[in-house]
Amino acid sequence: MSVHNITILKNSGETELFDENKLMESLRRSGASNDSIKKVVDELGLYLYDGMSSHKIYKKAYSILGNISMKDAGKYRLKKAILELGPTGYPFEQFVGAILKTQGYSVKVGQLIDGKCVQHEVDVVAETKDKIIVVECKFHRTGNTKSDVKVPLYIRSRFNDIYDKWSQDGTLAGRDYEAWLVTNTRFTGDAEQFGKCSGLVLKSWNYPYNSSLKDMIDKAGLHPITSLKTLSRKEKQNMLDEGVVLCREISEQILMKNNIKRTKINKVLAEAKVLTEI
């Protein structure tokens, strides 16, 4: 049977013909080389069957790519790895803070800040001598979740209250002030429009063009520990609970503390090293 005649089952429950070009484009966007893409597509064709779910196709493509290049596989799995940073939103806040650190900001995560009217919990505060950025992070565990316009409406009013206080008490001291709302999934069209109109900087997985969350991650060269295929989900969660979020934070001591078998430690460290090489 030709791969062009194979019907696949989408996550929504709908069916469609398998599109080889969509798979190639998703691999290309993740940064996989042309040679790797060709090898994945050629080998995947041997495993496709009528009614195969898109989830199984993704897992198989990821497995094949991992055998070709661990680094390319890590990039290909990045979006799903971010979704696995839960169940709380705190690891995602740490991840966003780490991205801003690579841009030269001094960063604090989980801050209580007085506004002109009330006190606010702020997920990330990033500062340089010229600018202060306050960030609200909206973490979702499912990729099809969208943040609608009510979210930026609420965040804009909170961050305006902080701006009013800092303008009065000299905290800004001539520095620029930016308010950000960052999500690992997507915004609705109305939410994006409100952000543009109100001056609230919105960043989702693929918005805005050239400055999205994915673009920022690519430039920073950061990978969460959930990108690692050598660790089980339980092992990753244990380390997230202890505040270990980034692959570059993993060490032999941390792995031993989490009761990772000695025979496995070198494999984990080798994979983490590959993913952290820019």
What's the pLDDT tens digit per position in 111-131?
999 999 999 999 999 999 999
For residue range 77-109, list pLDDT tens digits in order: 888 999 999 889 999 999 999 999 999 999 999
| CA distance linking residue 218 with residue 277, whole number of Å | 12
**Cβ atoms within 10 Å of 45's Cβ, excluding its own:** 14
166 to each of 100, 135, 137, 171, 175, how far by Cα in Å? 21, 15, 21, 5, 10
Question: Beta strands 131-138 and 119-127: pairing type?
Answer: antiparallel
pLDDT score of 275: 86
Instruction: State pTM to two decimals.
Output: 0.84
With cut-offs at 50, 70 and 90, classify the pLDDT of residue 1: very low
Query: Chain-wide mean pLDDT for the chain?
Result: 92
| CA distance linking residue 95 with residue 23, whole number of Å | 28
270 to each of 65, 216, 224, 274, 277, how far by Cα in Å? 17, 24, 15, 6, 11
pLDDT score of 2: 53
Q: What is the mean pLDDT of residues 248-267?
A: 94
pLDDT score of 3: 61
Q: Report the first-to-last Cα separation within the chain, whole angstroms.
A: 41
Q: What CATH number matches the domain at 86-220, 3.10.20.30, 3.40.50.2300, 3.40.1350.10, 3.30.9.10?
A: 3.40.1350.10
Helix, strand and coil percent figures for the chain, each rounded to 5: 50, 20, 30
For residue range 175-188, list pLDDT tens digits in order: 999 999 999 999 99
Q: Please give the share of the chain, as a percent, with pLDDT higher than 70.
A: 98
Q: Residue 120 belongs to what H/E stretch?
A: strand 119-127
Q: Residues near 149 by Cβ (< 8 Å), separated by ≥ 6?
A: 188, 190, 191, 193, 194
Provide the greatest CA pair distance for the chain. Answer: 71
**Cβ atoms within 10 Å of 254's Cβ, excluding its own:** 16
| CA distance linking residue 200 with residue 97, whole number of Å | 18
